[in-house]
């Protein structure tokens, strides 16, 4: 068993939690000081695609997860400056500060109460924000910090505690239950709702995929490639769970009975990160290749290039046949206008399925 190796992004986030600037509360008018959208190249295999980029209002920030949510907007986290961002479908960006600049918000999902919920790695809490930008915090009593987040079939917010090897669940009123992961140093990372009503999560240091019931019963399955760096996970269109293997440069998939398949990504050292199921395929960020990759359920790959140096991190499905993604290289939210992608009423990286 190898220890989890923190990359440049993880180290930067840790520094942000300790050295966060003293940013006071501030609101932003949608669209304020936004330059014209920039067009990026589309992959030759998909010539009809158009890529646009909308810069954040806070310069130099690192961005986290993104998801479609309230107000018909894409909501995202700004990890290194302690803000929650929202971008309209026409590219108008609004930013809202959390209650503490060093909160390090990472994952974000739409909650059952009509608010956007997010993890706060620097506060041992979950946060929630209304459509008007009102932020509330709900402490995790054990003092453990959360990173991944998903809405469960029981309408609780389920989260991973990477540093304490636990899976937690919180009600919208802040009541928390925690369940220990059986294997020590598992470092549970991302989490998503599966088609079997179980919450599925990744364990980067042990190379396993875990599943937990609403009652807290856990099962773990080993990924064949050792030290693969399993990272993010999502339910696919085929009823299997798809995940990125950051270190092994692969996309993996597991059935609800534990059968695993792995597909090498054609792009060398792509550094796959966030992913989303859309239009019958899996779209994923290739941060080191400045691209958004696409893989079919049978393992056929293609990709869409973005401007050099943008480094896509997380991916979400939006309405109007769009795929949205956060970019760390030049802090922006990108969008791919793709004619074959879905127009969901509520499609997101961690969409709840009841």
Positions marked catalytic: 273
Q: Which residue has the tokens 């330059």?
A: 35
Count the Cβ atoms, other than its own, within 10 Å of residue 3. Answer: 8
Q: Which residue has the tokens 């109007």?
A: 320
Q: Which two tokens stand for residue 138?
A: 């709900």
User: How does strand 272-278 pair with strand 281-286?
Assistant: antiparallel
- The secondary structure of residue 23, as a DSSP letter, is P
Q: Which two tokens stand for residue 315?
A: 């991916």
Whole-angstrom Cα distance, residue 211 to residue 219? Answer: 5
Buried b (16+ CB within 10 A) or exposed e, 218-236: bebbebebebbbbbbbbbb
Phi, psi of 335 (to 5 degrees): -140, 135
Phi-psi region of 249 (alpha: psi -120 to 50; beta: other; left: phi over 0): left
Q: Which two tokens stand for residue 278?
A: 């859309």
Q: Which two tokens stand for residue 79?
A: 């990890």
Sheet strand arrangement including 230-235? 230-235, 241-245, 250-254, 260-264
Whole-angstrom Cα distance, residue 10 to residue 6? Answer: 5
Q: Which two tokens stand for residue 339?
A: 């004619």
Q: Are 79 and 96 a contacting pair, CB within 8 Å?
A: no
Task: Give the dihedral sign, CA 187/349/323/44.
Answer: positive
Task: Give the dihedral sign, CA 72/77/81/83.
Answer: positive
Max Cα-Cα span within the chain:
51
């Amino acid at each position: 068993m190898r220890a989890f190796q923190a990359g440049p992004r993880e180290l930067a986030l840790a520094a942000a939690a300790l050295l966060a600037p003293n940013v006071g509360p501030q609101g932003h008018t949608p669209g304020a000081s936004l330059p014209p959208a920039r067009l990026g190249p589309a992959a030759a295999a998909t010539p009809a695609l158009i890529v646009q980029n909308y810069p954040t209002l806070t310069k130099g920030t690192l961005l986290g997860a993104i998801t479609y949510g309230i107000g018909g907007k894409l909501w995202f986290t700004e990890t290194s400056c302690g803000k929650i961002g929202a971008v309209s479908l026409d590219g108008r960006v609004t930013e809202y500060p959390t209650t503490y600049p060093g909160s390090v918000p990472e994952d974000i999902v739409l909650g059952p109460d009509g608010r956007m919920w997010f993890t706060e790695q620097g506060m041992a809490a979950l946060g929630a924000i209304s459509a008007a930008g009102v932020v509330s915090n709900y402490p995790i009593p054990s003092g453990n910090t959360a990173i991944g987040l998903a809405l469960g079939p029981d309408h609780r917010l389920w989260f991973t505690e990477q540093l304490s090897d636990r899976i937690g669940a919180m009600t919208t009123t802040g009541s928390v239950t925690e369940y220990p992961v059986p294997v020590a140093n598992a470092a549970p990372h991302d989490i998503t709702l599966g088609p079997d009503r179980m919450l599925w999560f990744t364990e980067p240091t042990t190379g396993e995929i875990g599943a937990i019931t609403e009652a807290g019963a856990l099962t773990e399955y080993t990924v064949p490639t050792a030290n693969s760096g399993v990272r993010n996970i999502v339910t696919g269109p085929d009823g299997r769970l798809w995940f990125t293997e950051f270190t092994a440069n692969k996309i993996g998939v597991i059935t609800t009975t534990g059968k695993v398949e792995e597909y090498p990504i054609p792009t060398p050292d792509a550094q796959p990160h966030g992913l989303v199921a859309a239009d019958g395929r899996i779209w994923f960020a290739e941060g080191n290749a400045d691209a958004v990759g696409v893989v079919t359920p049978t393992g056929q790959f293609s990709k869409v290039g973005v401007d050099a140096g943008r480094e896509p991190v997380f991916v979400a499905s939006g309405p109007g046949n769009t795929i949205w993604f956060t970019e760390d290289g030049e802090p922006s939210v990108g969008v791919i206008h793709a004619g074959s992608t879905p127009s969901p009423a509520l499609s997101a990286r961690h969409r709840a399925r009841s």
